[in-house]
Structure 1
Amino acid sequence: MKVRELCLLLICSVAPLVKVASGQYDINIGLLYEDNNPLIAKIFDQAIESANSELLQNTNRLVGRTAEITYGNAFDASRKLCKMMSEGVAAIFGPISRGPSTHAMSLTDEKEILFIDTQWDDNVRQTTINLHPDPKTLVLVLRDLVEAYEWEEFTILYESGPYLPVLDDLLIIFEKFGHPITVRRYDLNLSGNYRNVLRKIRQSPDYRIIIVGSVETLPELLKQAQQVGLITHQYQYIIVNLDFHTLDLEPYQYSESNITGIRIFNPEDVRVQQLSAQITEEDDVFAYAEEEDTEMEAVKSQVTTAMALMYDAVYLLAETFRHVGNLELFQPESLACEDSSTWASGLTLFNYMKTTTYRGITGEIKFDHHGLRTDFTLDIIELTTAGVVKTGTWNWNPNGNNSLHFEREHHTFIPENVDLLFANKTFVVVTAISAPYGMLKETDVPLSGNDQYEGFGIDLIHELSVMLGFNYTFKMREDKNYGTCDNITKMCTGMLGDVTAGRADLAITDLTMTSDREPGVDFTMPFMNLGISILYRKPTKEAPDFFSFMSPLSTEVWIYLGLAYLTVSLSLFILGRLSPAEWDNPYPCVEEPTVLENQFSLNNAMWFTIGAVLQQGSEIAPKAPSTRTVASIWWFFTLIMVSSYTANLAAFLTIESLSSPINSAEDLANNVGGVTYGAKSGGSTFNFFKGSQHEVYKKMYEYMAAHPGMMTSSNEEGVDKAENENYAFLMESTSIEYNVERKCKLTQIGNLLDEKGYGIAMRKNSPYRNELSQAILNLQEQGVLSKMKTKWWKEKRGGGACSQKTESDSAEELGMPNLGGIYCVLIVGSFLGSIYGIVEWFCVIYRRARRFRVPLKEELLEELKFVMRCSGNTKEVKHRKSSMRSSRNSSLTLESIGTENSEGANLHNDDDS
């Protein structure tokens, strides 16, 4: 048994020596791959196996060493990379995520080991070869595409910080052209919710968007963009990610949106198909589709750019070793991360690989002196109804003469509903001057034809003409008469009469769809929904409560606070009398006192308690544990109460309630506040009240019929009356929204009184009705109508004037209405204190006059003279002639001293003699 073991050991020891002697070497190469992408390891092993047989022909061999790391964990990557280097590796193929990759590059750079990168990276390292195109080169692709598509302004939407170098270079390139470029980051809070940013883009005028992001976030970004209405025929996209073709783009194929991407290899290439089949079979990963006969069909895995680059990287390394021939120089050495040792052949291998060229799956592979890829070709691809198709190529040239060639015309969707029905048709569209639906442009240059008009209705007709392919000419109705139709004769007046008589094909303005007009004309589906509402002055501010300083606390709390104050004061008074520690010798010089004094009289207890509430304190200090406990708890209580009161006081002093005499149609009907009201005479709003069966609305109609002076000839007149008089004007809610954006004194009162819509009028049984309605529906779903409303209501012609008003940076100053109650408390309290002092003073004089039998008038005048002199802080003690008093003062006892002190305090230091 021992002989057999010795033989095996001898064979294992000699075999490597024989192999080296014959010129055959095994070269260890390592791969760090992350746990969320195990197929990379399969690609790595498959590439090694194929490269050994095809390029090295098994004369030398690449031996793979793989280590799985946690996604994004740089520490895990560092630990396992150190273990690989200790075993000896000639090259490291790095992880894909940025953190571990950057850390691995730093370690290999320090140890001078070749690092082969296949990810988006703008860092240049001493021993790093990167097969992924340099991000700065991709900027040139973007520049050429933007110039080819003739984009003059666009938005750049990027994911996060690693993509900023691309943005910086792109902004520098286009800065000299003066193109307005908006830059937004879509992954702001790392929550996966991008809708807030996407809504801002939808509200902006940009329809051309460049997206720079990872393949992990792009699917959700496109999904949310479609949800907010950004994937429509109006929008054009360039997506900068070489894995664009691997995304599931089927939901967007029929969106009519122009979406362009780039890729570095053709997924239909035979080698790519073979690689896909190999890794699918190797990994036993199958996607099955169940049929009725329970047969299962395997679907091949999608080859990503990282997989293709990894495959090419292994082949390129094998090609480098094949050219070198003798690999004795490149035998790996064991290196420890803890010391400063380096691999002597690392830089040599790096230089060899930089000069090696190879044509792989991703095309021609060449490098510059920094190890960055050059001379590569990118496919320009676009999404069509048939899927992703190649439309051109972009070739990199080291001299800067990069070339962009389109194999087919840049794809532009043509709406399918442009047919012979609208082809070569020119419609006469009648409208009227009514802001913001139709207005004359404000310009110093004379204009004619359609160019002289602008507004919501004008833009709507333009959008419909672009979508359906017709031409149009506007005709202005000078008298602004929208018209009505007779139910019997079917004859119409005004704008509607122009349509029925054939003088116009369409009519558009704030034209309400009503049952009175339906007999004479047809309407499209409503392009705007609205209702009747009330326009009135904004509510005025109510004067603040005189005692607003009491508002921070409810009446109940104030009552309980008062009860708590009385309870604690009584507790201190009682405990002070019960606790021996609170009884003190009033005269410390007397060693054996006959009487003791207590500081917690009822007055002192109440004074101590109120002092804590008002944060003022007093000279009284509790001595007994019981009184100190009660005092401490009271202080804590007052701390919380005062803090809560102070925190709310500022808000209650500055708050001003708004009041309006009317809040609904019922208030108008009941003449609350004496507010008069009316509507446009003969308009659809007046007719609504005329035909309504609702009691309140009937009452309002009777009022308007009885007061014709309250009716107006136009909406503008009604708005002016509402702004300058005690008058409420009844009109459509959309017109109210338009006016309150510009006239800051006005607002909408109450809810809508009815529901109706504005539509485009045409002759009865018009063949264009369904197509126009469908086009309006499409514009509504795509958010175009919402954008147009924002434009004309809140932006153009003074829109947003009221919403843009901001409060002053400084706090609004407080006036007497806010603080009058506090002054009232001060005056009343001071007055009551003064009255009490005068009464007390008079009572002392009265008792003194009676006790010493002197005239009250004489004593009063003498004291009054002393007070009126207003000088001196000392006072002469009077009436010392009384023998009885003198005798009593001469015999000092503790009891008499205490009594005299008490009397002296009551007499304001006027000792009676």
Structure 2
Amino acid sequence: MHQLTRSIQVEIHMRQVSLATYLSTLKDFKEKEIHNIIIDTNSEKITILLKKILQQKMNEYKYHYLFTSFDLETFDLEDFKYNYVNITSFRLVNRGDVVVKDILKDLTYYTQNIHNHNNAVLNLNKIGMIESESALMFDSMYIFAIGLQTLDQSHTIFISNLTCEDEIPWNGGLSLINYINSVEWKGLTGPIQFKEGERVQFKLDLVKLKQHSIVKVGEWTPNGHLNITEPTMFFDSGSINVTLVVITILETPYVMMHYEKNFTGNERFYGFCVDILETISHEVGFDYILDLVPDRKYGAKDANTGEWNGMVSQLMKNKADLAVGSMTITYARESVIDFTKPFMNLGISILFKVPATEPTRLFSFMNPLAIEIWLYVIIAYFLVSICIYIVGRLSPTEWRCIHPCNLDHITVGNQFCLSDSFWFTIETLMQQSPDIFPRAIATRIISSIWGFFSIIIVASYTANLAAFLTTERMINPIENADDLASQTEISYGSLDSGSTMTFFRDSMIETYKKMWRNMDNKKPSVFTTTYEDGIKRVNQGNYAFLMESTMLDYIIQRDCNLTQIGGLLDTKGYGIATPKGSPWRDKISLAILELQEKGEIQILYDKWWKNSDETCTRKSNSQSSKVNSLGLESIGGVFVVLLAGIFVAETLIWKWAK
């Protein structure tokens, strides 16, 4: 059989660096995507190097640093603990060992006494913590003292003056070395035993940085070499196995909840934001535990105490890794927590009950002109008719012979008698050709002005008639935010401790400042604890709810009794919130941008907003602008006028016939 061998090629980059070249070397590693770095330097320079790593933002899970120093626990790794960065090192002093604890306790007590009485300070790194070099020196001096004490018990030690010029060996040196080699003792650096002048039976702990602490993951011994005791602590950076704590708040359709007993854990939640979180978790590579925020609030800063509540407070206290929901990105929140790129853009709008439709009346054809216009037209009709009659009687030109061929009975008459004057005026108004025509200059001027007046009135009536008869007229008491601010009959409010409330509270626009004063001083309170309460108050009438446009769009598509008033009052976005400095913000932001470019977020939006099974049938604005068929209720009055005219004419005929 042929033995199969596999050769592995590893590319190694070596750099000899100094304090001046730390930053440039890290930049080079970052550009070349070198993620596994072994650092061999003294403890004094490691602190500076860690700061440079933070400046380059190379403190995330895909980087793995192996330090040759034995003093990893003595460094300030607070900025690295929560970023899942891989930092590995060896440890010589195990502070958890009972013997080590006792020795460090004695050293601490001795250090305090020296400091209090002699104004001297023993060079310890921290209380209860000692560097490996000091620990080795302590163990060396202790072993030397034991060997010297043993030598003194068996031999008389003579000490003579020594000089560097004369090479005169000390007679007790060989015996002292033999006694030291025979010492067996457990010190700060572990069991101490020598064989042929070399230390044996010691070990190094392999330690790794984990969230909140440094843990032991293996050990190295001279005989057994490296033994990994916690292999699960080492994972592939491409398939990170991290479980994040995610808090949310119930808000339809962003996050909703199953209350049945057969749903447990993350399965209890569903909705638009839950789908986005699930997609992002697969893209970025993390598991999560989803739960509700305890106080059921998004997060707002108390103006008196300065304390934050809601999901913002949970993130600030590091009780959660992410906050997902319809959470608005604001300046105040961004100053205490971090947000990803927005996955949805929106603004504040006004939710109001659909105004009542103006009832259709029998004489709706008269609506194009106001009642007072109709009265003025009738008055003008009578005045013009009487003026024509008077001017016609006074003007000689309007007098003529009634029977010019009968010379024996010459009769002179005026063509503008009272009835003819009224008939002439009405014929002109109806744009009909009259039987008589004015002859005098005065009557012609009056007739011309009346004709011009009739053209304007008829044209205006005709132009407005179609709009009044073919479209529904709604009685809407408010059209925008200015209308709300300038009246007191309709109450208005927003969600308590939400971004909408904060927007009005902090706004410098006079209209919004006026609205905030009205809302803040209104009793009982106009603020609601949930969106459902606000929608309920709107449906009850005489109340406008200020809310974010995406939620408003979802509501009005399912409740045709509600509508949006005016446009957007501002523009903003929803984002996923993280604690300050979280390494997950940039990764999630990139995932959101990718989902937006692929159109997956729009697909999810259509899924939850435009589900045809839930939306109601609403007449759109484009439909209402089209010409609709007229019913009898719209133009029935025309038939009434026609019948009334026929009845009057028939009555006059019967009277004349008799």
Structure 1 length normalisation: TM-score? 0.36
Greater relative contact order (Cα < 8 A, sep 6+): 2
TM-score normalised by length of structure 2: 0.47
